[in-house]
Structure 1
Amino acid sequence: TPTAISFSELSGRMPVSAGEAAFVKKGFDSNSLALLIGLMVILSGVVASATIAIGSAGYLSTFFELPRELLITIVILVMGLTAIWGILESVLLAALFTLIEAGGLIALIIFGFGSEATEWDRIHDIIPPLNDLPVLIGVLNASVLAVFAFIGFEDMVNVSEETKNPKRNMPIGILLTILITTVLYSLVATVAVLTVDPVQLAQSDAPLTMVFEQVSTISPSLISAIAIFATANTILVQFIMASRVIYGLAAQNESMKPLAHVNPITRTPIRASLIVIAITLTLALAFDLENLAEMASRLMLVIWTFINLALVRIKMKGITAPEGALVVSIWVPALGAILCILFVIISLFV
């Protein structure tokens, strides 16, 4: 939450594409560090997309008996071409997918809370005994991996230039996203843990479908379809973000100028989008899901650390925010940086 608040203030101060790079440049007065952070943001986007493409292929396999590699390729190419199609079309499609995804999760929560299969007498299992060292280590490792579930809110700053009144609307959008996501994920996790054996859940290629089968009579095919829309939505958003960051960096660096080209017909950075698609496909075919998720989580934690520190430095310099922009205490980004650093240490040494 402190990191989300930091992004909220910075998006009001600097509503630009490649926002993270711009924030770091402003805070640290370093073009090299800004470029490095920008490249890390791009990499985190493609790693996240590759991770989710593998998950999407798992749900697609319930409909099509095709090789996993082919399903992954189809998912990435279709979402990549959609991102190239146009920003308005992509955003509208992402909004539709989001509604379908949210509807599916809400349905799971409702069915789960009313199902006899939900073992409420095991509610205490949701909070593990943290005085047990092996359990505590497991929880800490899982917490780092869970960071992956919240990747995405920071992507919103990269479409600030295409947002009406970003100083007001961007902070509201970021904070609402975190709040709604946290509530939905917490309730879904509760239902999942109380209805399906965690070991079976972890081994499943279609975990949401498994939970729905336990708590409702809805066709598993419908649930798998909803999960496909949900995963496709995340891939699309990551593609939009990564291509915009490449475009933003290219516009600021002479050596990358060709990648700042915007197609006059689609009005999207096609060259940048093609690079994102190619790297995503390569990663998805070369690595497994868990390794990619861990990689994406670590990358984002490092990026978030620098974003929080950038806001700390901006405040220490006494740089005033534009009128109407959100302004928070310096302790908010400081706390965000400390928490991110702790999670990075945990991911490396615990």
Structure 2
Amino acid sequence: MPDPDDRQVPSGAVSLLRTKPVDRIADESAHTSLRRTLGLVPLIALSVGATLGTGIFVVLGQAAPVAGPAVAVSFAVAALAALFSALSYAELAGAVPVSGSAYSYAYATLGELVAWVCGWCLLLEYGVSVAAVAVGWSGYLNAFLDATLGVQLPAALSGDVVNLPAAVVVLLATAVLVGGVRESAAVTTVTTVLKVLVLLFFVVVAVFGFRSANLAPFAPAGVAGITGAASLVFFSFIGFDAASTAGEEAKNPQRDMPRAIVLSLAIVTVVYVLVALTAVGAVGVDVLEGSDASLATVLQRLTDASWPATVLSAGAVIAIASVVLTVLYGQTRVLVAMSRDGLVPKVFSRVGPRRVPTANTLIVGVVVAVLAALVPLGQLAEATSIGTLVAFGLVNIGVIVLRRTRPDLPRGFRTPWVPVVPLLGLGMCALLVAGLAPATWLAFGIWSVVGLVVYFAYGRRHSELARGE
């Protein structure tokens, strides 16, 4: 008897909308060749590690002048916007626990072409953002070396000609990932704990300089200022979905992945609000305005010693390096799912002796290292925002569709108030996408055209789902 969830048609334009049966996806997850070693804590560390990075170290100086001292509320508002999509991710991560994240969810609910677009967006989000983060890490490393040893790398090796540190950090992360998922999880957990502790250290130091007068007037630009700053800081929350790429390496994905997604967002929100509130309360908005290293600026103003700012700089180096590791992991796992479906070459789903996709990881690591070393990313890096928001939007739609097509499907977590919550998540994604710069849209348009060419030239002809019809 044919699977009731399999509504594909064999050929023609409508075949682009064929969906992959959820039961087939679940069977692939149950018989995965990857190693199931990740419990709840490593999954939380994976998501927190991917989220808690460059954003809080630089974005506060840009957002504080817009909202005033109420910038702490802006972080809470941005977290609420992210929460709508996080709840949708949590349901699908428990119901469809595979490595493909939003790509696999779209394949199960919206069809092959939409899934391809979603996967292509994820490759943009993960791949280019890793390169961009690595370039940022290079700058922080130079600042840290200058503060501690009084030396800096030659300009020709740190961005003017080639960005050697950026390539090195990507290759180091690649080596850790090739070493095995258990080892990668241990490194991720340690670095995530360290950077949370560094930010809590900042909060403790800033509290001693806290002055209530610095919080008045609290919201000089009113609600418009708070929401405007919330749009700026929203992208500091991108990354909470990283746990959803570990569906085939989690010990109990139906139970732990939804928890990891929601808990990681809660942890990041608390840290962000505390840092923003204590920073503004300690030095005021004027000091933060325009600073690219706003947290270090706060510590320099509050203490006569140089070591607190040095500790914070070290935390920034650790934070950004761990983002490189976790996001690179996410990209390789999305490629595993796409390769297994035949939409990209099979080399990306081959598993090595350590039960990790070794060839996939090495290829991705080398390509991203070259990008980080040689390409001035500019507006292309900003296009990762569109890739992320498109994926978020499709996940919100997927929850609504799967509730209608498979109401009987076991779910480790159920998004509350469907369809209201997913529609709010979709609306927030649309609102934020609409506000992005024209140059960002252009870069995304070029990327999308390339993706469609690849799909029709290779993916559609090699689709495993099409072969099985």
What's the TM-score once normalised by structure 2's chain length? 0.67
1:261 corresponds to which residue?
Answer: 350
Alpha-carbon distance in 2 for matches of 1:197, 1:282: 41
Contact 1:144 1:347 in 2 (8 A): no
Taking the aligned partners of 2:391 and 2:216, their CA distance within structure 1 comes to 35
Q: Go from structure 1 to structure 2 and tell me whether the alpha carbon gap of 1:263 and 1:283 turns closer, same or farther (over 3 Å shift).
A: same
- Specify whether residues 58 and 25 from structure 1 end up closer, same or farther in structure 2 by C-alpha distance, changes over 3 A only: same
Partner residue of 2:117 out of 11, 21, 36: 36
Residue 312, structure 1, aligned to residue 425, structure 2: no
State whether residues 198 and 315 of structure 2, in contact with CA within 8 Å, keep that contact through their aligned partners in structure 1: yes
Which residue among 256, 259, 276 is the counterpart of 2:364?
A: 276
**Aligned counterpart for 2:98 among listed residues 16, 23, 38:** 16
Q: Secondary structure at the match of 1:305?
A: helix
The DSSP-based 3-state class of the residue aligned with 2:424 is helix
> Which amino acid is 2:208 matched to?
G
Match of 1:6 among 71, 85, 88: 88
In the TM superposition, what are the counterparts of 1:37-186 in structure 2 within 5 Å? Answer: 37-62=118-143, 63=145, 64-66=151-153, 67=155, 68=158, 69-115=163-209, 118-124=210-216, 127-130=219-222, 140=228, 142-186=229-273
Q: Give 1:249's aligned residue.
A: 338
Structure 1: tracts of 5 or more residues without a match: none
User: Is the alpha carbon distance of 1:125 and 1:305 closer, same or farther for their aligned partners in structure 2, counting shifts above 3 Å?
Assistant: farther
Q: Quote the offset at 1:125 in angstroms.
A: 5.7
| TM-aligned CA distance change 1:60 to 1:198, over 3 Å | farther
CA contact (8 A) 2:85 2:392 kept: yes
1:214 to partner: Cα distance: 2.8
2:427 is equivalent to residue 338 of structure 1: yes
Aligned equivalents of 1:279, 1:192: Cα separation in 2: 38
Give the 3 Å change call, closer, same or farther, for CA 37–323 of structure 1 in structure 2: closer
Contact kept, 8 Å, 2:203 with 2:274, in 1: the verdict is yes
C-alpha RMSD over aligned residues? 2.5
Count matched residues: 339
> Structure 1 stretch 271-280 or stretch 1-10: which is displaced more?
271-280
- Counterpart code for 2:382: E
Letter in structure 1 aligned against 2:165:
L
Q: Secondary structure at the match of 1:61?
A: helix
Residues 101, 230 of structure 1: 8 Å contact kept: yes
Task: Output the CA distance in 1 between the equivalents of 2:390 and 2:356.
Answer: 29
Bigger radius of gyration, 1 or 2?
2
1:221-242 CA deviation, whole Å, 9 max, x = no partner? 3222121111111110001110
SS of the residue 2:247 aligns to: helix
In 2, Cα distance between equivalents of 1:293 and 1:222:
28
Q: What do residues 228-258 of structure 1 show as CA deviations (whole Å, max 9, x unaligned)?
A: 1111111100011101111111011165212
CA distance in 2, matches of 1:205, 1:346: 23
Q: CA deviation at 1:153?
A: 1.1
Return closer, same or farther for 1:254/1:3 CA change in 2, 3 Å cut-off: closer
Is the 8 Å Cα contact of residues 332 and 360 (structure 2) preserved in structure 1? yes
Going from structure 1 to structure 2, the CA distance change for 1:206 and 1:81 (only over 3 Å counts) comes to farther
Per residue, is there more helix in 1 or in 2? 1
Change (3 A) 1:126 1:100: farther
**CA-to-aligned-CA distance 1:7-44 (integer Å, 9 cap, x gap):** 0100110100112111111111x112112211211220
Higher relative contact order (CA closer than 8 Å, sequence separation 6+)? 1
Shift of 1:89: 0.8
Task: State the TM-score, normalized to the length of structure 1.
Answer: 0.87
CA-to-aligned-CA distance 1:100-153 (integer Å, 9 cap, x gap): 0000011111111112xx443121466341477xx58xx63x544423211211
Kindly tell me: are residues 231 and 254 of structure 1, through their superposed partners in 2, closer, same or farther at Cα, counting changes over 3 Å?
closer
Give 2:241's aligned amino acid: E
Paired letter, 2:277: T
Task: Sort the Cα spacing of 1:75 and 1:203 in 2 relative to 1 into closer, same or farther, 3 A.
Answer: farther
